Copies of this chain bind each other. A is one copy, B any other.
Amino acid sequence: MVYIAVMGHGVVGSGVMEVLTTHVDSIRQRAKEEIRVKHILDLREFPELPYANLFTKNFEDILNDDEVRIVVEVMGGLNPAYDYVKRCLLAGKSVVTSNKELVATKGAELLKIAQEKNLNFLFEASVGGGIPIIRPISQCLAANDVTEIAGILNGTTNFILTKMIRDQMEFSDALKLAQENGYAERNPSADIDGLDVCRKICILASLTYGKHVYPDSVHTEGISGITMADVEYADAWGGVIKLIGRVKKLENGKIRILVAPMVIDRSSQIAGVDDVFNGILVRGDATGDVVFYGKGAGKLPTASAVVADVIDCVKHFAARKYLFWSDADPDYVDDYKNDETAVLVHVSAADPTLALQQVRDVFGEIRLLARKNEAPGEFAFATGVMTEHKIDEKLDALRKQEIVVYNCLRISDF
């Protein structure tokens, strides 16, 4: 018998209880032990639940119970989760979490404590919900140099973009629909401004390359500036717009990392990842491209990933899982503007014939794109590949010639 505690009884926490109670036999069989929840920490009360007697409002009840060997943290947010998790580890308890903010900002420190204490700190559910990604990256791809990871890591924004692409909804209407369906929060900023994706790509980058990447070191763009015109020009180019988190390994040992909406070729495996689904592409020197696809969020997918980690903990009390990264040098993250990319640029000018000539003078060979119902003077073009520094310079040159630049979207090479 292994006793565990669950901190937080929101969507994921109640899902964890559901998975544990509906899969008793298969879990016992796989863990080779019975797993029993002894405490649930929540400030609210749930008198109607069959396990109402397990609730406590006092974290010390968990911390001081020596029978509890694994603590599940599904409260979310940094405070008090960070303090609680740290104290649990210091007290000799393994921790399983779905909290991406915690892992993305405090991962190196917590992994170090876990290592020193010979405990597990596992977080499969923090990226990709029910899609197995942390473990495949850390284990299956061990004999493989991962050169790049790129993913659709946020279901809310992918739902919004899918509605814009498929149903020609404007951004604000699609966001409202996402909120009505419970896919987006009332304050949707963490999703639509890209912060959620940023945390997840930081976790994947830290895990893959062994050094902690902090969210505030990552250039992050959201999707609130995407218009139907962008969607239509991307379509004319042969692609769809997706919010992408991407990290690349450079030959000098540094990384380039970015969160931004990008134009994805329709033939890419990532292009067909629609609605609230996530898709993560892992590019390896030996494996080539491997893609993981599934529901990136939701009560039961996330809860099943949490419980799988708990099972793994139970199986590895003796031999710790090798999951580790250390802190990085300050210059480990290279300037994202050194990266080379093609871009799709949406512009307008009083004299479009002249403007097109100016665009060609500045950018060289371009591909002109058209859409239905273009406003007078409006057009878009796709450029060749160049550094982002160069793109900035050239866009400035266009602006000086009184061309209005509405948007400039990176075109992905995967």
Which A residues lie at the B interface, using CB under 8 A? 19-20, 23, 26-27, 30-32, 124, 130-132, 135-136, 139-145, 269, 272-273, 284-295, 298, 300-301, 303-308, 310-312, 315-316, 318-319, 322
A124 to chain B: which residues have CB within 8 Å?
140
From A287, A291, A305, A306, name the one whose CB has the most chain B CB atoms within 10 angstroms. Answer: A287
With the chains together, A75 CA to B217 CA distance in Å? 48
With the chains together, A223 CA to B341 CA distance in Å? 41
A140 to chain B: which residues have CB within 8 Å?
124, 132, 135-136, 305, 308
With contacts A286-B303, A289-B294, A292-B290 taken as known, whether A27 is within 8 angstroms of B135 at the C-beta atoms is: no
Q: Looking at the complex, which one of B141, B289, B300, B308 makes contact with A304 (CB distance below 8 Å)?
A: B141
B130 and A290 form a contact (CB under 8 A) = yes
What's the dominant secondary structure at chain A's contact region?
mixed
* 15 CB < 8 A contacts A-B: A23-B143, A23-B144, A30-B322, A136-B140, A142-B308, A143-B305, A143-B307, A144-B304, A286-B301, A287-B294, A287-B305, A288-B294, A289-B295, A291-B291, A319-B319
With the chains together, A136 CA to B139 CA distance in Å? 10
With the chains together, A145 CA to B292 CA distance in Å? 19
Q: Looking at the complex, which one of B144, B292, B295, B312 makes contact with A139 (CB distance below 8 Å)?
A: B312
Copies in the complex: 2
B312 and A286 form a contact (CB under 8 A) = no
A316 to chain B: which residues have CB within 8 Å?
319
B322 and A142 form a contact (CB under 8 A) = no
B27 and A142 form a contact (CB under 8 A) = yes
A273 to chain B: which residues have CB within 8 Å?
269
With contacts A144-B308, A269-B272, A322-B30 taken as known, whether A286 is within 8 angstroms of B130 at the C-beta atoms is: yes
With the chains together, A387 CA to B142 CA distance in Å? 45
